[in-house]
Every structure is written in C-alpha cells, then in structure tokens.
Amino acid sequence: MTARTVDRARLGSTGVEVTRLGIGTAPIGNMFTTVSDEDAEAMLRAAWELGVRYFDTAPLYGHGVSEIRLGAVLRTLPRAEMVVSTKVGRLLTPRTDRAGPTIFRDTPPLEPEFDFSADAVERSLDESLERLGLDRVDVALVHDPDDHLDEAIRSALPRLEKLRADGRVRAIGAGMNQSPALDRIVRECDVDCVLLAGRYTLLEQPALDDLLPRCETRGVSIIAGGVFNSGLLADPSPGATYDYDTAPDALIARARRLASACDRAGTSLASAALRFPLGHPAVACVVTGARSAAEVRQNAAWFDEPNDAAAWESLKSAGLLEARVPIPGDEE
C-alpha cells in the first residue's frame, strides 16, 4: 500500500480531516443483495487495516441496518482516529407493510419517510447515534432534498448550523445525486462540505460548470461519491449498471472507449475512475462502497495504482476528457 490511501484532507475550514479514500456503507445495508453480518464486519475491519478512517452512512441504507453494522465495528476501534458521517432528512417509521419498492433487501419493518423540519433533523441525528452506538458523528449531511429543497434550506440546514455551533457535530452539508441543487445550497447556506454522487466522474462532469467552481471559491469541500457511476466504470460489460439501473448502450460504449484508452496508457479504468475526482482542488476525498473484505482491498489497490500524467493526457487527446478538466497531479 502506498501513502495515497492514508493521506488526509480537511473538510472546508473545519478541523475534520478525512482520508482521501473513504468507505460508503450502503452495500452493507443490503443494497441490491443481502450481506451477512460477518461479511460486513470483515469489510469494515479490512478497510481499517488498510488505513481508511472515513466512513459514511445514512438511515436510508438498509433502513438502519448499515448504521447498526457500522457502529458495531467502530465501537471497538479508537474513536479519535475516525471520521463518521451520517445523514438527516428521512425518519424511519415502523410499519408492517411495504410502502413501495426498495433497492435494499431484508430490511427491518421500518420505512424511511422524508422530513426536513428542524425538529426531525435532531430526532434523526439522535436515532442515528443510538443505532451507531456512538456519542457523536463528525459530519451531518442533509440527504436527497431534491423535492424538498426550500424546506431543507429554510429548516434543516439552519438546525444543523445550530448543532454545529453547539458542538454536537463538527461539519455540516448535504448529499445528493445532482449538482444544481447542491450549488444553490452552497450559495445560500453556511456549509462545510457536500457529498456529490455520480456527477463528477471519469464518465461525466456536469458539476464542473456550477458546483465545483462555487465550492472552490467558497472553501467548501466536496466528497465525491458514485465514482464508478453505479458500477459502469468498474466493469463496462453488457448489463452494467448506471445510476442504479441498466446502463444505456451508448454509455457502455463510452465506458469501453475510456477503458481502452486507460489500457493503452498502462493503467486500469477502475483505478482512473477512483483517482480522477481528486484532480479538482475542491474535492477532498472519494467514497466507495464494498460488500466484502476482498472488495475493499481491491478498491484500495485500484486507488493506490500509479496514474502518471501521460495516462490523463491520453484521455484528453482521445477526446474522452475536455482540455479544461483538471487531472490528478494538477492539484499537487
């Protein structure tokens, strides 16, 4: 392992420092497929052994299962060494019938319901701490307020600001799968970081037109999630997934062109996908999910794989990246 995995970056102007590679825990909330408690624990312990110290979760992931599994492991490890983020904006409500389809398997009889009110923010955070078995989380993010943006800005984020001022959390922000709404949040709210999933990747960079320059100007850090675009950039084979659904043929073809260009440059598509977001100075870290110890070790190996300047320039010369796109190395 090189030093890359254990390198750290600060979130905004806070004292919170995350490892450049973080772990997202939606997969151990049984996303798409059931994961055993043993495999979830093995994955988290392997990540720790590799030097990863940033872990992201949410009540939505497995309807509480991810937080419970994460907490069971982190409670046995040095709290001062880790950074934990969770999310607010959904409360888990008991019910015996399934309200609708979900990508999470074998969930408890709880349904997530949107609630971005100030009181719900505190309740959500308290319930997350109970599931995690921790006395605090370091980062609290408003989760997916796409259809509730005004309320999130008016109620949820001001309450998070108060919780930060009271010392209950150390950094605040929002997490979404789109950049325009996050850009508005950065413009109108006093946030430290945002988690952007899938919209600044080797495949597509729409956030380069709004959110990223805004964050750079305002000193807000970006946590880059969904860097494989739901799997397409890890394995662009027929049936690959993109944004949690089957990838269109045109995107599979583009991903394959990226893979060929990476191969010619002596690196792998997966490695380039993991490292690419860090080329922008506003990006503090990338977060990837894993279901097993083997998967997290593979992610760390990809992350630590050398990517020299020639590899990135070859993608630009092939027309697969715009000339204006910053590349890893530019930020150093």
* Contact yes or no for 221/282 (Cβ under 8 A): yes
Selecting among 61, 200, 242, 244, the annotated active-site residue is: 61
How many residues does the structure list for the chain? 332
* Contact yes or no for 317/264 (Cβ under 8 A): no
Structure tokens at 91: 């409360």
- Is 242 one of the catalytic residues? no
CA-to-CA dists, residue 228 to 1, 159, 199, angstroms: 21, 33, 10
| Closest by CA position to 231, among listed 257, 216, 252 | 252
What does the alpha-carbon distance between residue 82 and residue 72 come to, in Å, rounded to a whole number? 14
**Cα torsion angle, 207, 212, 215, 221, sign:** positive
What does the alpha-carbon distance between residue 148 and residue 42 come to, in Å, rounded to a whole number? 37
Which residues are catalytically annotated? 61
